[in-house]
């Protein structure tokens, strides 16, 4: 061993050693122990983790590094435990996310996606993704990820797409998917609908305007309506009041004259109206508000679209406003209300405003023909699984959040008006567009009119619709027999911020498509913050490149620093000081191993030994530490396990065991005493390396390869210490 540890000289070499062995593939794992009858013990118990696939368009960030570290810890631990371990990697096409990234690239070149034909734009994004797809994979390897790369999948692989189509057809045939006009979240900048989960909310100080809506039968009398969006009144088709509100009891069913427009609208009673908001009377604009849309459906109200998909007022808004941007129309509407005597007052009002989570533009609720999943029937089975313990959340906190969200779930809009992704497999009859055929290929004829003239659906699936099928889709397509052997998988480990985006949907889709839970445990790690607990962002300049940290300190130091305080339920403050501390620990391991090797010269592992009281004490402490680390890893207490392995090596092995055996090896009282000391030294070192290996795989493997052990293969396929 060299005098100093240099990760740059070790890590690439060790990863090649692992890769060339083929042991990342569970089909190649060797038996590792002797059973009582002397036969090698086979690895028969399956243990599988499906890696959350990183976006194919970008490099890894620290969150990915934490994910990869935690999952690799579990895989390496289970491999040492003797399980047939499969960690299946992949990449996500990340539809909307990737298209947004590519649009920014075009904008820097002075171009727009709207300049290109659909097929041309798709090919441009495809080429861009293919050029970047291997970046994340290579970075994961730098971190030591022991995935079976031979089974790697991409969400746009043809066999994955085929399964996604099969699920869509099944849902449609069973009445769980429908197409119809409903309120969606529309981003005017990106020109696509978004799911409820892709909308972020920001508290803003706006105004609340109070407006007179005169009664038709008595124009000198009026109902006072409060609104934060006066421009949408141009599309009002009713005013609603709560049926229990005595103030309006006698007015229900009467008509009002819509200010500025002059259209007669009805006063309706609906329990959706909050008695305490404003005046208790609310304007109803079915085309531009989700609650109003539902009210409109119940009362069969007309739907008038006054804001277009480009974020400008339509002709239906009237000649004075058509073509204006929303903000301009609001200003003009308020001005006209004042001049015509309809504005009673305005006052400051703080409320949550819906924004696109990518560009920050205000979301426009808009009626549109889209494809929706009836989600409640699917949610019921997922909730039942959690209640029965079929799927267990490691954190009770996230189980509670999951239960609350599932209880209040709404139908899922799976249509995206983007090019990049999996096209929804629908063909519309060009003679009768109310007739369509579900098929991935162009149909021969329309089942209704017999026409062969079809146009394809241009919408693509919401990325989460396809990635929600990831656990079973990957195992059904990676290698024959994988699904039967490894599904359900053992654990889904991911960041808490995609609990609903992904985890809940995998549960719903998994039960629906296979009848089984996709995983037994859900472990959600915290988000990484900077040392001041601030969210990392490029604008703040506090983003840390994990590969730069690896270049400076080594992968083991970064891994150990990430996991050392990775308690479930909490976000993780990160500073490079923590990495430097673990780099020092790596050097401590190296120096202790070098000393041990120097003192193991001439060791005979077949000679008799006689333990001293000190030997028995350190071996007992080793067994207790092994038991604790085993229990902690079984219970996903990563930080506890890491700290126990760290403290045992530093304070027990280095400070006690080495110091005790050093004297006995250099100045033994007898050959028996020297051999015993060497035996204990080697035993404690090897078992310490095994305990540390899931956390710091590179240095532990390198040290292990240098030890005088007969018939050794690799530390990563050795046997976990017994704890006895």
List, for residues 200-257, the tens digit of each pLDDT value.
899 999 999 999 999 999 999 999 999 999 999 999 999 999 999 999 999 999 999 9
What is the pLDDT averaged over residues 705-712?
A: 88
CATH match for 575-717 among 3.40.50.2300, 1.10.390.10, 3.20.20.80, 1.10.730.10? 1.10.730.10
Pick 337 or 64 by higher pLDDT. Answer: 337
- β-strand partners of 482: none
Q: For residues 530 and 564, give the distance between their C-alpha atoms in angstroms, rounded to a whole number.
A: 16
**Owner of token pair 């034909």:** 117
The segment(s) of the chain belonging to CATH 1.10.730.10 are 575-717
Cβ-contact 417, 193 below 8 angstroms: yes
> Looking at the predicted structure, is the pLDDT value of residue 361 above 80?
yes
Cβ-contact 597, 706 below 8 angstroms: yes
> Looking at the predicted structure, is the pLDDT value of residue 122 above 60?
yes
**Owner of token pair 């699936």:** 461
Residue 617: its pLDDT value, please?
94
Gap between the terminal Cα atoms of the chain: 31
- β-strand partners of 608: none
Using 50, 70 and 90 to split pLDDT, how confident is the model at 662? confident
Q: Could you tell me which CATH number the domain at 193-364 has?
A: 3.90.740.10
Q: Could you tell me which CATH number the domain at 7-168+468-526 has?
A: 3.40.50.620
Q: In this predicted model, what pLDDT tens digit does every residue of 386-436 receive, in sequence order?
A: 999 999 999 999 999 999 989 988 899 999 999 999 999 999 999 887 899
Q: Which two tokens stand for residue 332?
A: 């003009």
Cβ-contact 656, 684 below 8 angstroms: no
- pLDDT over 70, % of the chain: 97
The segment(s) of the chain belonging to CATH 3.90.740.10 are 193-364
Instruction: Give, to the nearest 10 degrees, the angle between helix 62-81 and helix 546-553.
Output: 60
**Owner of token pair 């699917």:** 378
Q: For residues 485 and 508, give the distance between their C-alpha atoms in angstroms, rounded to a whole number.
A: 21
Element (H, E) at 367: strand 364-373
Q: For residues 229 and 128, give the distance between their C-alpha atoms in angstroms, rounded to a whole number.
A: 41
- β-strand partners of 48: 86
Measured CA distances, 157 to 134, 469, 477 (Å): 15, 13, 10
Using 50, 70 and 90 to split pLDDT, how confident is the model at 381? very high
> Looking at the predicted structure, is the pLDDT value of residue 24 above 60?
yes
Residue 31: its pLDDT value, please?
85
Measured CA distances, 487 to 72, 228, 513 (Å): 19, 51, 12
> Looking at the predicted structure, is the pLDDT value of residue 39 above 80?
no
Q: In this predicted model, what pLDDT tens digit does every residue of 602-635 receive, in sequence order?
A: 888 788 999 999 999 999 999 999 999 999 999 9
Angle at 265 between CA 260 and CA 268, to 5 degrees: 135
214-229 exposure pattern, b = at least 16 Cβ within 10 A, e = fewer: bbeeeeeebbebbbeb
Sequence-ordered alpha helix ranges (H) in 570-724: 576-598, 613-634, 638-647, 659-666, 671-692, 697-706
What is the pLDDT averaged over residues 100-118?
A: 91
Q: In this predicted model, what pLDDT tens digit does every residue of 481-500 receive, in sequence order?
A: 999 999 999 999 998 888 88
Measured CA distances, 466 to 218, 407, 624 (Å): 57, 23, 46
Cβ-contact 210, 279 below 8 angstroms: yes
The segment(s) of the chain belonging to CATH 3.40.50.620 are 7-168+468-526
Q: In this predicted model, what pLDDT tens digit does every residue of 518-550 receive, in sequence order?
A: 999 999 988 888 777 776 655 456 667 899 999
Residue 540: its pLDDT value, please?
57
What is the pLDDT averaged over residues 140-158?
A: 97
Strands 436-438 and 460-461: unpaired
> Looking at the predicted structure, is the pLDDT value of residue 567 above 80?
no
What is the pLDDT averaged over residues 23-29?
A: 95
Residue 399: its pLDDT value, please?
93
Cβ-contact 696, 556 below 8 angstroms: yes
């Amino acid at each position: 061993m060299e005098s100093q540890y240099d990760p740059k000289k070790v890590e690439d070499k060790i990863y090649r050693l692992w890769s060339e062995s083929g042991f990342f593939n569970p089909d190649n794992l060797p038996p590792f122990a002797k059973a009582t009858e002397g036969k090698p013990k086979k690895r028969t118990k399956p243990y599988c983790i499906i890696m959350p696939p990183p976006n194919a368009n970008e490099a890894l960030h620290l969150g990915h590094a934490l994910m990869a570290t935690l999952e690799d810890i579990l895989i390496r631990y289970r491999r040492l435990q003797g399980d047939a371990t499969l960690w299946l990697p992949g990449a996500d096409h990340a539809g909307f996310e990737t298209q947004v990234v590519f649009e920014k690239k075009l904008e820097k070149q002075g171009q727009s996606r709207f300049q290109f034909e659909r097929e041309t734009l798709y090919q441009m994004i495809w080429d861009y993704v293919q050029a970047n797809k291997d970046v994340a994979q290579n970075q994961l390897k730098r971190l030591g990820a022991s995935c079976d790369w031979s089974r790697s999948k991409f969400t746009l692989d043809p066999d994955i797409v085929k399964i996604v189509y099969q699920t869509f057809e099944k849902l449609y045939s069973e009445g769980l998917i429908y197409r119809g006009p409903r309120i969606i979240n529309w981003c005017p900048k990106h020109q696509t609908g978004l799911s409820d989960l892709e909308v972020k909310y920001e508290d803003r100080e706006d105004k609340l305007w109070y407006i007179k809506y005169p009664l038709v039968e008595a124009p000198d009398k009026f109902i006072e309506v409060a609104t934060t969006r006066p421009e949408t009144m141009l599309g009002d088709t009713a005013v609603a009041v709560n049926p229990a509100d005595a103030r309006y009891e006698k007015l229900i069913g009467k008509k009002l004259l819509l200010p500025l427009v002059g259209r007669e609208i009805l006063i309706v009673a609906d329990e959706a109206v909050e008695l305490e908001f404003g005046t208790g009377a609310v304007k109803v604009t079915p085309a531009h508000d989700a609650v109003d849309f539902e009210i409109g459906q119940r009362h069969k109200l007309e739907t008038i679209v006054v804001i277009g998909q480009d974020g400008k007022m339509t002709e239906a808004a009237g000649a004075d406003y058509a073509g204006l941007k929303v903000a301009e129309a609001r200003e003009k509407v308020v001005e006209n209300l004042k001049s015509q005597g309809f504005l009673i007052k305005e006052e400051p009002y703080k409320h949550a405003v819906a924004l696109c989570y990518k560009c920050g533009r205000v979301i426009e609720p808009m009626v549109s023909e889209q494809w929706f999943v009836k989600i409640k029937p699917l949610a019921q089975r997922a909730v039942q699984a959690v209640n029965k313990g079929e799927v267990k959340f490691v954190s009770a906190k996230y189980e509670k959040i999951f239960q609350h969200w599932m209880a209040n779930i709404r139908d899922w809009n799976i249509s995206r008006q983007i090019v990049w992704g999996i096209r929804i497999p629908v063909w519309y009859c060009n003679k009768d567009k109310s007739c369509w055929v579900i098929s991935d290929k162009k149909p021969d004829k329309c089942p209704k009119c017999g026409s062969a003239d079809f146009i394809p659906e241009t919408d693509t699936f919401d990325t989460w619709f396809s990635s929600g099928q990831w656990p079973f889709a990957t195992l059904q397509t990676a290698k024959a027999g994988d699904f039967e052997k490894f599904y359900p998988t053992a654990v889904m480990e991911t960041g808490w911020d995609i609990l609903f985006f992904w985890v809940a949907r995998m549960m719903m889709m998994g039960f629906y498509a296979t009848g089984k839970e996709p995983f037994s445990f859900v472990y959600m790690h915290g988000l990484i913050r900077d040392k001041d607990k601030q969210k990392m962002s490029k604008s703040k300049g506090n983003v840390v490149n994990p590969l730069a940290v690896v270049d400076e300190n080594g992968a083991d130091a970064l891994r150990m620093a990430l996991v050392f305080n990775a308690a479930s339920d909490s976000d993780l403050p990160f500073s490079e000081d923590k990495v430097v501390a673990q780099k020092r620990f790596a050097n401590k391991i190296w120096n202790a191993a070098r000393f041990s090797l120097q003192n193991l010269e001439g060791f005979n592992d077949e000679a008799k030994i006689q333990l001293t009281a000190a030997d028995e004490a350190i071996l007992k402490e080793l067994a207790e530490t092994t038991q604790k680390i085993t229990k902690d890893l079984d219970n996903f207490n990563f930080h506890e396990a890491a700290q126990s392995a760290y403290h045992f090596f530093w304070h027990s092995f280095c400070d006690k065991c080495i110091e005790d055996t050093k004297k006995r090896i250099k100045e033994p009282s007898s050959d028996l005493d020297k051999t015993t000391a060497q035996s204990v030294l080697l035993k404690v070192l090897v078992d310490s390396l095994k305990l540390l290996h899931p956390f710091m795989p590179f240095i532990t493997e390198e040290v292990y390869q240098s030890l005088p052990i007969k018939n050794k293969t690799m530390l990563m396929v050795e046997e976990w210490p017994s704890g006895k």
